[in-house]
């Protein structure tokens, strides 16, 4: 029984989109018969091989259910109980995970300001101190998001600078890759070029925002930087018994470049949306549009009129700032109609 209009799309979140047809087919292919549970199946074994091809020969992969679970479990394995993680004020681990890193794992987040959502070494320096001081949580890791929560993308040189800064101080580097596919598509580079090759130690590899169904992964690039992850995944309730279905979905994104194509399409739709509204009176853009997010500033009454037709979220209502997201299934017709709706609302 279908309870929704399958042709209706919004600009609220790429999480609103359904599951890629190729992923549904991969789930069907993985079904039937018996496979060993908890990751000893053929699909998870194949995923390990693919991850090492994409990220490097030392890479280890741990499929999990969701992004919060990936981030919290990864950071818990990277930092002891007395440790702290430096992150930006817009970081998802700080703003949108219900305090999970601190409440579930007891880790302290040291939050710093960021331009365009990017952590810089200058900002990190303000919290990277106090090692050996028993009165201060020990800064032992940095966490960055790629692409960022503000829709911008770190180039490899920016990641390298952050990693060098961290490693010189004995700190590890975590990358929240909820939209890692969008970043790879924007950079037109292989994953290893802006992760393994430039000093990232652990990546949370997203899938849900790019057409998967409850399947993400922790990818360990430097095994020496984690401890107990094999046990922590279970402890954090992120160990799937029928792991073949998570692994089969992740494999589908790597198959024949599917994940990069779908992410590139979402990015292109965001660029089309911005281009359609560039220069329109009454609208300004607060951040660069480098992946699949567009951040705009417009009159709140006009925004609410647009919302009568298309759902989207306020990012900072006090600053008249909204966020528009594109997904793998956003069409040119969707974008053009949305642009026309915004223009009509501003004119009205």
The CATH number assigned to the domain holding 298 equals 3.90.1150.10
How confident is the model over 44-90, as pLDDT tens digits? 999 999 999 999 999 999 999 999 999 999 999 999 999 999 999 99
Contact (CB, 8 A) for 180 and 40: no
Do 167 and 155 belong together in one domain? yes
- What are the residues whose beta carbons fall under 8 Å from the beta carbon of 162, sequence distance 6 or more? 119, 120, 121, 124, 142, 144, 154, 173, 199
- Does 220 share its domain with 282? no
247 and 336 together in one domain: no
Question: Which tens digit of pLDDT belongs to each residue from 213-264?
Answer: 999 999 999 999 999 999 999 999 999 999 999 999 999 999 999 999 999 9
Pair (83, 206) in one structural domain: yes
Whole-number pLDDT of residue 98: 87
**Domain contains 7:** no
Encoding tokens for residue 154? 């770190």
Q: Are residues 321 and 248 both part of a single domain? A: no
Share of the chain above pLDDT 70, in %: 100
pLDDT digit string, tens, across residues 113-169: 998 999 999 999 999 999 999 999 999 999 999 999 999 999 999 999 999 999 999
Considering the domain boundaries, does residue 177 fall inside one? Answer: yes
Closest to 143 measured CA to CA, from 178, 174, 171, 168: 174
Shared domain for 134 and 168, answered yes or no, is yes
Percent of the chain topping pLDDT 90: 95
Domain check: are 180 and 295 in the same one?
no
Q: Closest Cα to residue 148, out of 221, 197, 91?
A: 91
**136 and 110 belong to one structural domain:** yes
Domain end point (choices 256, 282, 301): 256
> The CATH number of the domain where 191 resides is what?
3.40.640.10
Instruction: Print the domain residue range for 343.
Output: 258-347
Do 230 and 149 share a domain, yes or no? yes
Confidence of residue 101 (pLDDT cuts 50, 70, 90): confident
Residue 33 pLDDT more than 90?
A: yes
CA distances from 58 to 73, 219, 224, 310, 334 (A): 19, 10, 10, 45, 43
The full 3-state SS of 70-93, as one line of letters, equals HHHHHHHHHCCCCEEEEEECCCHH
The last residue of one of the domains, among 256, 287, 303, is 256
Confidence of residue 1 (pLDDT cuts 50, 70, 90): confident
Residue 15 lies in a domain: no
162 and 71, same structural domain? yes
Structural domain total, the chain: 2
114 and 252 belong to one structural domain: yes
pLDDT of residue 179 exceeding 90, the answer is: yes
Token reading at 66: 């969701």
Residues facing residue 293 across a β-bridge: 325
pLDDT recorded at residue 97: 87
Residue 290: half-sphere exposure toward Cβ, Cα within 13 Å: 24
Residue 10 in domain = no
Average pLDDT over residues 259-273: 98
> Are 278 and 244 in a shared domain?
no
């Amino acid at each position: 029984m279908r309870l929704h209009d399958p042709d209706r799309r919004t600009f609220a979140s790429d999480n609103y989109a359904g599951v890629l047809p190729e992923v549904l087919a991969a789930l069907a292919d993985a079904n039937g018969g018996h496979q060993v549970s908890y990751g000893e199946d053929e699909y998870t074994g194949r995923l390990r091989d693919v991850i090492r091809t994409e990220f490097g020969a030392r890479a280890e992969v741990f499929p999990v259910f969701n992004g919060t679970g990936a981030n919290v479990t990864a950071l818990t394995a990277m930092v002891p109980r007395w440790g702290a993680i430096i992150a930006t004020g817009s970081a998802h681990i700080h703003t949108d995970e219900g305090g999970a890193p601190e409440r579930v794992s007891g880790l302290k987040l040291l939050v710093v300001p960021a331009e365009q959502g990017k952590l810089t070494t200058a900002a990190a320096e303000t919290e990277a101190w106090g090692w050996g001081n028993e009165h201060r949580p020990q800064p032992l890791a940095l966490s960055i998001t790629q692409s960022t929560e503000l829709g911008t993308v770190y180039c490899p040189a920016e990641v390298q600078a952050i990693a060098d800064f961290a490693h010189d101080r004995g700190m590890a580097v975590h990358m929240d890759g909820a939209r890692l596919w969008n970043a790879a598509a924007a950079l037109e580079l292989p994953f290893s070029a802006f992760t393994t090759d430039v000093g990232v130690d652990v990546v949370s590899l997203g899938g849900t925002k790019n057409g998967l169904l409850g399947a993400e992964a922790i990818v360990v690039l430097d095994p020496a930087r984690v401890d107990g992850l094999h046990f922590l995944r279970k402890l954090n309730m992120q160990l799937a018994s029928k792991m073949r279905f998570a692994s089969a979905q992740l494999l589908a994104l790597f198959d024949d470049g599917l994940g990069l194509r779908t992410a590139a399409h979402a990015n292109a739709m965001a660029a089309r949306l911005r281009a359609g509204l560039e220069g329109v009176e009454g609208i300004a853009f607060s951040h660069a549009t480098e992946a699949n997010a567009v951040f705009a500033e417009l009159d709140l009454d006009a925004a609410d009129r647009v919302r009568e037709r298309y759902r989207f979220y306020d990012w900072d209502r006090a600053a008249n700032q909204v966020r528009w997201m594109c997904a793998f299934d956003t069409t040119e017709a969707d974008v053009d109609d949305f642009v026309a709706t915004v223009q009509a609302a501003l004119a009205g």
